[in-house]
Amino acid sequence: MGDPARRLEPPGTADLVLKTGGVAVFSIRGYVNTALADDMLRRATRLLDEQPQIRGFVFDCDALESYTPGAPFRGVAWIRQNADRIVATAVVARLGSISAVVRAAALLVPSVQMLLAENRAEGIAMVARAIGGRPRVSTGPRLRVPGE
């Protein structure tokens, strides 16, 4: 999580890797500091502005190693700020702390479906279904939603 020694490490990456059926997918890897989180969220805002058909996001954090305290909550604040344009957001996460942030976000932004996914394909399928689209990738095993 917020190990002070890691703050000296170069930031990881947050790349837009796919847009399909109203869903945009960001792949987040390595160490995420607040500058990287802010840059990714600026790109996501630009995407919403330029392509209003985007109604859902998948944040694939499976390769996330660590993050600066506060970086994940910038994402929650961004989702709250854009709740009128976002129907659903799925997060692929192996870090328990990120899963906890998703659960907290579901309480803080009840108008947006906040979902946890096992993998990117499942996340895309979950968000596509939430926004009324059809997934264009394999859905994998049974879908898992927080609170089930």
pLDDT bracket for residue 35 (50, 70, 90) = very high
Q: State which fold the 4-131 domain adopts.
A: Transcription Regulator spoIIAA (3.30.750)
pLDDT at 43 over 80: yes
Of residues 15 and 58, more confidently modeled:
58
Per residue in 97-117, pLDDT (tens digit) is 888 888 988 888 999 999 999
Give the phi and the psi of residue 57 in degrees, each rounded to 5: -135, 150
Enter the pTM of the model.
0.82
Domain locations along the chain: 4-131
SS in 3 state form for the chain? CCCHHHHHCCCCEEEEEEEECCEEEEEEEEEECHHHHHHHHHHHHHHHHHCCCCCEEEEEEEEEEEECCCHHHHHHHHHHHCCCCCCEEEEECCCHHHHHHHHHHHHHCCCCEEEEECCHHHHHHHHHHHHCCCCCCCCCCCCCCCCC
Q: Are 72 and 98 in contact (CB under 8 A)?
A: yes
Return the percentage of the chain with pLDDT > 70, whole number: 83
